[in-house]
Chain A
């Protein structure tokens, strides 16, 4: 112990292996900051509602009821949260190597397209195989889509934020093009949509719940990713690269491969979300894939501050806010967009709170 010339208090502090128990000062501070930011956003939103002549407290009570108050609302919250678990990872994983990727929306679309095409092509295959292959094709398509941005960054120096933003629009245009012609199911006259995947490939709901299996997949992926980032040498190498590129170079890490892999995994997660939308909800590709799942995922990733487990918690909260939108509209005649306002406020407050990082809690070890 390097506890020379120190009082008993600090020796006791050393003796407490903080990180070993999985709670570090950093993580605690992140949690506190997020909570404070959310509280601040709540107060601001309350003021906003009060100006509109609403009873803010009553609205919040309803918000809670709409999100978690009944079995139905909880199911609805979980359904809303399921895709966010995955789209958040599209920003979170590349962030570990120091990239700001906002291409979740495009990767969802590509995932949905990939899954649809695979599902249609595999018609006649055994159901389980078909389902797995369909989902895998979606993840692969999304992964390659974002890995493209990673490759452009590494080999050409193209800014990844701008390129993924553009790729979002290109993906949406591609989707619109395909479902309006080349893969359009012309028997559907109500809206432009693609051919449908075989009914047998669809995944249903979790037994006794009206929530589809996508939730379980999302939870498993988040859990698995947490293990990967926290408990493998690969995750550690990514953290080194994200923390200081020079240190990564000095220790001989394969920088290009890490960047490509992080982008691929992030894109694959969002692609998975798109594939699940197909196999669990829509059964065919259409504009319904473009509902802002990717953009909401960015918010979840920032709120979770790069922690894959925190993503689960944050996705539940944001899913709950989305789920209660309808109830707010019915009860108070508050437009559904109120939930977007609240999300935007939370996002802004979380970012502003970042300025207090490292200053909120006394840090151990400062000499």
Chain B
């Protein structure tokens, strides 16, 4: 978003594309994680807490060790620890997974702010970007095409998961647990174990999403770092109808709509900035209203999911 005055409205477009890629990466990672969790038949509404704890863990680890990649690992581990906590409580009979998610949301954020307090001031090493815009002399283009490798990791994951859900033993097992717990038990699978692993995997990816926030963009650690990306991702999964590949498209769309506001602001238009900010939420609500029906469940939703029943 620097130097747009050189390019005029083309600059706006460039800023939207670059913004979409930057903003969409955490959405993508978190929504892929939540897709995994929900495919197993559980909802983890606590991903906002997971994301923030991941961001803090990544930043703190990177600050202390100097390695941003070690930081990302720490973010993933912290995320799966919260996932394990969610799963362990939900495995108890008669516990509502949505409520546990809300509790975990509060707990994760509290823990992140508590442990992250000493790390608000300092600077840490950042994740490197791939300089894909070096062919150009224009600094705006160069900065727009400096893309984080995590974005490509996300794309690769989306494709792998889309393929793996259909073509691997684990994909099939995950889907039975989410589609019919009875059928899964009938063939001797432990539904709780599958869901525990799926929630931990979901937590790992959400943690990575948080790590991206603190180690790449915006690239620092403070208490206002996340603006609800974790919660948004849950809506995004519904929007993408539980398909990893559609999560990719939806993340880009959400990232793009979020980037419109800041981008048009750079050319001096500040009217309705916050309304643009609401666009993804309105979009999701509209889609939900369109695709819901009082007599049948959401299209594409795993049958065991509490939010689709």
Residue numbers of A with Cβ under 8 A of B are: 100, 102, 152, 154-159, 161-163, 165-167, 169-170, 173-174, 176-177, 180-181, 295, 298-299, 302, 334-345, 347-348, 350-352, 354-355, 357
Contact = CB atoms under 8 A, between A and B. Distances in A.
A342 B111 CA distance: 9
A174 B282 CA distance: 11
Given A162-B288, A180-B273, A351-B100, 14 more contacts: A102-B102, A165-B45, A166-B235, A174-B274, A176-B277, A336-B113, A340-B106, A343-B110, A344-B109, A347-B107, A348-B100, A350-B103, A351-B89, A352-B89
Given A177-B274, A344-B106, A156 B238 contact: no
A238 to B, nearest CB: 19
A155 B309 CA distance: 15
B169 interface: no
Contacts of B95: 351-352, 354-355
Contacts of B234: 162, 165
B96 interface: yes
A169 B111 CA distance: 23
18 contacts: A158-B289, A159-B308, A161-B307, A166-B281, A166-B284, A177-B273, A177-B274, A181-B272, A298-B102, A334-B114, A337-B110, A340-B110, A341-B110, A343-B106, A344-B109, A345-B107, A348-B104, A352-B92
Nearest to B102: A298
B60 to A, nearest CB: 14
B293 interface: yes
Interface in B66-125: 85, 89, 92-96, 98-100, 102-114, 117
Candidate in A180, A341, A342 with the most chain B CB atoms within 10 angstroms: A341
B271 interface: yes
Interface string B1-40: 0000000000000000000000000000000000000000
Q: What size tier do the contact residues of chain B reach?
A: 35 or more
Contact of A170 (B238, B285, B288): B285
Interface string B281-305: 1101100110011111010000000
A357 B99 contact: no
B109 A173 contact: no
Contacts of B113: 335-337, 340
Contacts of A357: 94
Chain A at the B interface: SS class = helix
A24 B277 CA distance: 49
A162 B98 CA distance: 10
B307 A162 contact: yes
Given A180-B274, A335-B114, A154 B103 contact: no
Contact of B99 (A100, A152, A355): A100
Given A100-B99, A162-B238, A169-B278, A347 B106 contact: yes
A304 to B, nearest CB: 13
B232 interface: yes
A352 B294 CA distance: 31
B285 A166 contact: yes
Given A161-B307, A169-B278, A174-B278, A348 B107 contact: yes
B250 interface: no
Given A165-B231, A352-B95, A354-B94, A156 B294 contact: yes
B215 to A, nearest CB: 21
A344 B294 contact: no
Nearest to B232: A169
Contacts of A157: 292-296
A299 B110 CA distance: 14
